Amino acid sequence: MPPWLSQLSSALTKESKLISSRWMQLATIGIDNTPRVRTVVFRGWTDSFEMEIYTDKRSQKYYELNVNNNVEICWVFINSKCQFRFRGTSIIDLGKDNLRHWNQLSDTSKSMWGWPKPGDHYIHDKEIESSFKGEEKLSHNFSLLKIEIKHVDQLIIRKPIHIRRKWVKKEEWIEERINP
Ligand SMILES: Cc1cc2nc3c(=O)[nH]c(=O)nc-3n(C[C@H](O)[C@H](O)[C@H](O)COP(=O)(O)O)c2cc1C
């Protein structure tokens, strides 16, 4: 188990009643080499402690990650006044884990992957909107992203002095207390 996971799990457990406790900011490098950031939902960990996120294959981030898979994730726990920043690389998984995650989704959630292409011009059509239903069968647009984490930075806002540490993955994880 990576050494930072207990800190993260304890913040997540403490704030589990807040729906926003599972919302994180995922930053990518845009096709034009400028930064992009958006909110995503944390979906869990793989057996090797990669972070799991769901996305739509038609989204901009999906194209970006195919060109440059370096990411940073910022995850803040409001009550604990604790911020984690994770650096790593994303892996697109379209295999059996993808299908397992799809099968766990509710019909309402499944229907989102059948909406028109994200980012395209909106065309209002009441009939089409009321006909979006969750398909049982795996949507071609659904993709599981796994984030392999290589660097973690934690900051806890405390009095009289904030606490900051970092963990860097070499052969093993190396922890260092650093100035806030
Ligand atoms: C609370 C919240 C949770 C979200 N969760 C996800 C998510 O898990 N996956 C996702 O692809 N987009 C999620 N989104 C939408 C993204 O923030 C973003 O608008 C969308 O993915 C398009 O981003 P892109 O054009 O950079 O690809 C969420 C938005 C909000 C406000």
38-83 confidence digits (pLDDT tens):
999 999 999 999 999 999 999 999 999 999 999 999 999 999 999 9
What lies within 8 Å, CB to CB, of 168 at 6+ separation is 150, 151, 174, 176
The answer to whether residue 129 sits within a structural domain is: no
Q: Is 19 in the pocket of ligand 1 (CB under 6 A)?
A: no
Go through 103-123 and write b for each residue having 16 or more CB atoms within 10 A of its CB, e for each that does not. eebeeeebbbbeeeeeeeeee
The answer to whether residue 25 sits within a structural domain is: yes
* Per-residue pLDDT at 124: 87
The answer to whether residue 152 sits within a structural domain is: yes
Q: Is 60 in the pocket of ligand 1 (CB under 6 A)?
A: yes
Per-residue pLDDT reduced to its tens digit, 95-146: 999 999 999 999 989 999 999 999 999 998 877 677 676 677 899 999 999 9
- Residue of the CA atom closest to atom 30 of ligand 1: 39
What total number of domains does the chain contain? 1
93 CA from centroid of ligand 1 (Å): 18
The answer to whether residue 166 sits within a structural domain is: yes
* Residue numbers of the domain that contains 25: 5-105+140-178
State how far the Cα of 75 lies from the Cα of 132, in Å rounded to an integer.
32
The answer to whether residue 132 sits within a structural domain is: no
- Residue of the CA atom closest to atom 31 of ligand 1: 39
The answer to whether residue 32 sits within a structural domain is: yes
Q: What is the CATH number of the domain that holds 147?
A: 2.30.110.10
